Structure 1
Amino acid sequence: MPHLTSAPTVTGVRTAIGVPDYAHPLTAPAQWAELARPGTPLDWVVLNVAAGPGVRPDPHCLQAAGRLQGGGVRVLGHLDLAHGMRPFADLVTDAHRHLDWYRVDGFLLERCPGDRTELPDVRRVITTLRALAGDTHIVLGHGEHPCPGYAENADQLVTFRGSWADYRWSQVAEWTADHPADRFCHFVHGVPRGHLEEALRIARWQGAGTIYLTDRTDRGGRANPWETMPGHWDEFVSRVGTGVSE
């Protein structure tokens, strides 16, 4: 599928694509093959085998991850913090499995709490992950702006995850201006093809360096909008790839 071309949005922020979730490589081989196509402006791709690493090694996932890593793309293991309710030992077990079975380059800590009171527990998890893997890339999946202290502990924060209807009227927290754009991620579903450029403009103005925009919807909370490749994938990739900052 050839990428379309478009004029860049000039906003001072260079963007790349972060893929927060995809269907299993066995059921969606074409989607994973598309991700591995050379030249796709990917920052990272999350590997979510079965709400985490699963209970046994999966050769299909290992192959898909290896193909991306061979092309220079980081693969992150999915760890669900369950808003701070997940036992620490379970998180460490899942992290070991991701590292041993799939050789991941980092982790997306999904459903990460954002309150100041939860910060010490999240910091403990991050410190442990870095001890296990050394130079590992940590993304905190808050889905909204947390208290500023979280930015001091992770490589990136997901500060928006939601619908296009909410995103187009969203506001950015003032404290984010103290950090470079490559520290923040936005995931937006339900973005019509005709509004891709507007959505990209919002992301860049709000200082989000890693983004994922899809026309898929969550069907009122009944579906996962991230597991299927966007219908406007080619145009999305092209617009991100040409969006050079000035």
Structure 2
Amino acid sequence: MSGPTVPATGAGPLLVPLYEHPARRPEAWEAVLRAAPRLHSVVLNPDSGPAAAPDEGFAALAARLREAGVPVLGYVDTDYGRRPHRAVVRDLLDHREWYGTDGAFLDQAAAGPDLLAHYGRLSVAARAAGAGTLVLNHGMHPHPGYAELADVLVTFEGPWETYRRAEPPPPWTAGHPPERFCHLVYAVPPGAPAAALAAERGAGVHCAVPGTGAHPWGSLPHGLETTG
């Protein structure tokens, strides 16, 4: 998997989970498109998944992102292994058919060894559905076996106050390059060194947003709005 251009600041590329409809927040999506060279990928999430039917607004947005060279990841909830395999695969196929996604973002991924086989089957299904980039969002450091299943593991998702006090990564992560790990941090105040902290903790991909409450991923990453 070829990586995007890394900014001269040394900060890793951004994986952007902007969970807003393009008709409702067009200016935010324009900022995302302008920032294309800085992006690792963008998560497309019409309705906690592909929605019940194709959404023309998201389809047009996905096409523009691909034209800008940004990998588009279809959001799929796995409910920590509780969602049936068939339902997850249906979402993967709908994302591919309706929006032309070239990757998958499997959210609420389990972290324990007991569900490795389940996620192994989902990984095979995602690849068969055209996922060139597969991201598993555990939100914490999982069993090391999950590193064999995906291109990127999200090993932290949570607020800034928790992130800045988080424990160092476990030793097994040192056996993988930084671009295999992502940290997603919300409630980040302006000027907080989230990108530098992600790099220090071995995460080559990150996203830091100011959003809080039940919907933090409706806000743009810090600095994205100023990208020319």
2:207 to 205, 212, 222: 212
Q: Which digits, 9 at most, give the CA deviation of each residue in 1:140-166, with x for residues without a partner?
A: 010000000000110000000001101
Residue 138 (1) aligns with residue 134 (2): yes
Q: Deviations over 1:115-140 (max 9, x none)?
A: 0001000000111111221x621000
> In the aligned structure 2, how far is the partner of 1:23 from the partner of 1:16?
21
Contact 2:134 2:150 in 1 (8 A): yes
Q: Find the counterpart in structure 2 of residue 44 from structure 1.
A: 41
> Does residue 59 in structure 1 map to residue 50 in structure 2?
no
Specify the SS of the correspondent of 2:142: coil
Q: In the alignment, which residue of structure 2 is the partner of 1:108? A: 105
The answer to whether structure 1 residue 150 and structure 2 residue 141 are counterparts is: no
The question of 1:190 aligning with 2:187 is answered: yes
Match of 1:169 in 2: 165
Cα deviation for residue 209 of structure 1 reads: 1.1
| Structure with larger RCO (C-alpha < 8 A, sep 6+) | 1
Mark the runs of 5 or more structure 1 residues left unpaired by the alignment. Answer: 1-5, 239-246
- Structure 2's unaligned 5+ residue stretches are 1-6
- Counterpart residue identity of residue 138, structure 1: L
* Distance change in 2, residues 1:233/1:39 (3 Å): closer
Aligned residues of 1:19 and 1:46 also touching (Cα < 8 A): yes
Contact 2:81–2:110 at 8 Å: present in 1 too? yes
CA contact (8 A) 1:214 1:232 kept: no
Give the 3-state SS of the residue equivalent to 1:93 in structure 2: helix
Residues 116-131 of structure 1 mapped to structure 2, 5 A cutoff: 116-131=113-128
TM-score by length of 2: 0.91
Instruction: Indicate the SS of the match to 1:161.
Output: strand
Q: Confirm or deny: 8 A CA contact 1:18 1:45 kept in the other structure.
A: yes
How far, CA to CA, are the matches of 1:7 and 1:101 in structure 2? Answer: 36
The RMSD of aligned alpha carbons is 1.9
Does the Cα contact within 8 Å between 1:46 and 1:108 map onto a contact in 2? yes
- Within 1, Cα distance between the matches of 2:8 and 2:148? 35
Query: What amino acid sits opposite 2:195 in the alignment?
Result: L
Q: Percent identity?
A: 39
Note the C-alpha offset of 1:20: 2.0
Aligned equivalents of 2:41 and 2:87: distance in 1? Answer: 24
CA distance in 2, matches of 1:31, 1:232: 12
User: Considering only CA atoms, is the larger Rg found in Structure 1 or Structure 2?
Assistant: 1
Q: AA paired with 1:8?
A: T
